[in-house]
Structure 1
């Protein structure tokens, strides 16, 4: 058994994995990282050549290589992002491998709003998280593993993306359903990653672990946008939250496989209706993770680049 702390990260070439890796290398100099990815050549050179990083090339179904990567690790951080088969079946394979190699904690690939109150089908894009949450609960009853679920609201980058639909910065447009005063919870990706790096070092961090970067209404976002860029936005109310619900379910029924057609509508609805709010958070447990405010986020982006900051 190695005496060093070893952490496994699956889905190693994605943006979240890169951010988490950089924070671990920066803040935790004694930690070794086992990165699991399909192609080592796609890993950033500065990470690939780091002596504290060991790469394991494996598909999500390559059980033997995944198990080798998990040997002697204290936690597995999943950063998968993709179709339901990967997010459900791929994570189940990873969890089973953790159990086989006695890895005590598994950080699920959630990084989102609090989906736990939702029923399957309420927000189709979050159904995989629901399945994995249940799978981990079942395994915890009989196996030596604890699930960790990082809940951070929406990524701040996603809030400003045209894909979500609240904002189109290129056209200076803000659109909303409801009153426009509903609080929207959001966290910058880098803050979420630093939070994950911190909890990966904390064996007491199990279950739902919550972090909030900021909370603003769409009207407040429009005001801050105007202050940051000196441009008066066009703000339009599109209807009630019930109208939004009717619209999103109709679009989903028409083309359930085209996630780009409906994911923004579902995101708006579940961010706005109050049912997925984080409540009390764990921010104070990790004071080294200083949240980025919306004002600070806007200062770090040009108006032209604001809607393009979502690259996973």
Structure 2
């Protein structure tokens, strides 16, 4: 697998090991000392330092694998270019299956240009679909963990749940841990379809309000900022005012993600949660309770 030094990749590696898999973690030279990688090694994973710019080196590293799992994070040079080299290596090594670094809302239902990071995933997956390898993308909505920090939806200080558009629009949330567990199970399942869609909980904004109230023991209220078009306008203004940067997640990127979700277009359906019945799905309330505590 690639991307083991990131939070999700590290969790996928541990989940694979917990299921008895033989795990080979591909890491950049000099990364073997990182705590995340050391933990995987202690749990029994094989660590291989490899030049990700070399298809030949990646091909050697992929030899004998049953599935290549990517949890790489970045912009074009990673999601498109580096993953393309990893894909070419997997094909050259005769690996039968490939799981790309998607882990998001259903970008297949979104128009081009509505989300920069998801457009890159769509572009890579178009190449993946042309490759002679069985591919499976895991789509999980928004990481529930973001509700306690990076995603300004549940505002703990003022006891409000902020939103745009319809408070009854269903939204998909899955914890990073659950996404890792499901991905690990899928990696060990040779019968997976092209797309697998999961949601630890499908909650409306009103559902988030109820969950926050239950988690904190204090009443939360709704804070409607306007129609979805208002958020779209704010995104344009924010992008115009911000200097160009190589940040993977600038403020407007998170806004784009929320805009996509509030429109309802990328809603995941049907859900494949029941495919691996041993997974216990963590509800939103439990995640919010960690912040409340």
Q: Normalising to structure 1: TM-score of the pair?
A: 0.86
Aligned match of 2:159 = 172
Matched residues in 2 for 1:175 and 1:86: separation?
A: 33
- 2:75·2:120 contact (CA, 8 Å) conserved in 1? no
- 1:210·1:283 contact (CA, 8 Å) conserved in 2? yes
- The number of equivalent residue pairs is 287
Deviations 1:235-267 (A, max 9, x none): 321110111122223323443546422022111
Aligned match of 2:111 = 119
Q: Compare the two structures and name the one with the higher strand fraction.
A: 1
Aligned match of 2:120 = 128
Offset at 1:64?
A: 3.1
- 1:174·1:222 contact (CA, 8 Å) conserved in 2? yes
Offset at 1:170?
A: 4.1
Matched residues in 1 for 2:99 and 2:111: separation?
A: 22
Counterpart pick for 2:257 among 242, 253, 267? 267
Q: Which runs of 5 or more residues in structure 2 are unaligned? A: none
After TM superposition, the structure 1 stretch with the greater mean CA deviation from structure 2, 168-177 or 266-275, is 168-177
Matched residues in 2 for 1:231 and 1:156: separation?
A: 20
User: Moved runs in structure 1, 4+ residues, more than 4 A?
Assistant: none
Aligned match of 2:4 = 12
User: The residue matched to 2:136 in structure 1 has which SS?
Assistant: strand
Aligned match of 1:157 = 145
For the pair 1:281 / 2:271, whether they are aligned, the reply is yes
Aligned match of 2:184 = 197
Q: Which runs of 5 or more residues in structure 1 are unaligned? A: 1-8, 305-312
Task: Note closer, same or farther for the CA distance 1:44–1:10 as it changes in structure 2 (3 Å cut).
Answer: closer
For the pair 1:45 / 2:32, whether they are aligned, the reply is no
Matched residues in 1 for 2:193 and 2:166: separation?
A: 36
For the pair 1:99 / 2:58, whether they are aligned, the reply is no
Counterpart pick for 1:73 among 65, 68, 71? 65
Deviations 1:22-61 (A, max 9, x none): 1121122xx21110111111144332234x4211112431
Matched residues in 1 for 2:159 and 2:76: separation?
A: 34
Offset at 1:168?
A: 2.9
User: The residue matched to 2:33 in structure 1 has which SS?
Assistant: helix
- 1:70·1:76 contact (CA, 8 Å) conserved in 2? yes
After TM superposition, the structure 1 stretch with the greater mean CA deviation from structure 2, 108-117 or 212-221, is 212-221
- 2:175·2:282 contact (CA, 8 Å) conserved in 1? yes
Matched residues in 1 for 2:239 and 2:176: separation?
A: 27
- 1:164·1:267 contact (CA, 8 Å) conserved in 2? no
Matched residues in 2 for 1:13 and 1:25: separation?
A: 16
- 1:77·1:106 contact (CA, 8 Å) conserved in 2? yes
Matched residues in 1 for 2:39 and 2:162: separation?
A: 41
Offset at 1:63?
A: 2.6
